[in-house]
Chain A
């Protein structure tokens, strides 16, 4: 069974731009969670989607948003990028509840 895939793997953007990251969960998984990973803050929860609905949201500004499609694929968007948004963004999927999660390889975002 194919694992969680994330595209693109690397991105370089400049301040003020916006970016969209994509995540394809494991087939049959309906819950998709997003995390931001940085050396200073570790793994920080962004949001979780289930059946196209945002079920939970972490403590991030409104510039961070996401959505989920009917095939469970998910996207996250960051608008008006700031230098501090540079991070590894991880997507994880699970069958129903976000407990035993399977992680993707991440998208490395660099904001210049």
Chain B
């Protein structure tokens, strides 16, 4: 089955501490993965995608095909990082494509 698993529903860290949000996937094809973020009272928005290998707002994510993981990391968490984070996998079947989302992790950065 093709799915995305985010094992932590809630995650709290102190400001300045490192943070890692876990994401594991199951997919028979070549994976294309994303992290989306939803800040309080804002709409869901793309944070980063694995193919660009970029760092956004200090966050990075590396695709590990051996461990089928795409964990999101930031070395020093800030209070403004508090949000709901979703890992998403693009599933392709012929011309049909859809994003499958994990259940999300609510990150709280404590002062």
Contact = CB atoms under 8 A, between A and B. Distances in A.
Interface string A93-104: 000011111111
A3 B49 CA distance: 20
Interface stretch (B17-25, B39-47, B60-68): B39-47
Nearest to A100: B46
Tier of interface size on chain A: 20 to 34
A48 B92 CA distance: 13
Interface of B is mostly: strand
A105 B45 CA distance: 10
Nearest to B103: A42
B96 A99 contact: no
A103 B90 CA distance: 16
Contacts of A56: 93, 96-98
A63 B8 CA distance: 33
Most B C-beta atoms less than 10 A away, residue of A43, A58, A106: A43
Nearest to A98: B97
Most A C-beta atoms less than 10 A away, residue of B32, B96, B102: B96
Interface string A31-53: 00101000000110100100000
A90 interface: yes
Contacts of B100: 45
Interface string A1-34: 0010000000000000000000000000000010
B98 A43 contact: no
Interface of B: 32, 34, 43-46, 49, 86, 90, 93, 95-104
9 contacts: A42-B86, A43-B86, A43-B104, A55-B97, A56-B96, A56-B98, A98-B98, A99-B32, A99-B90
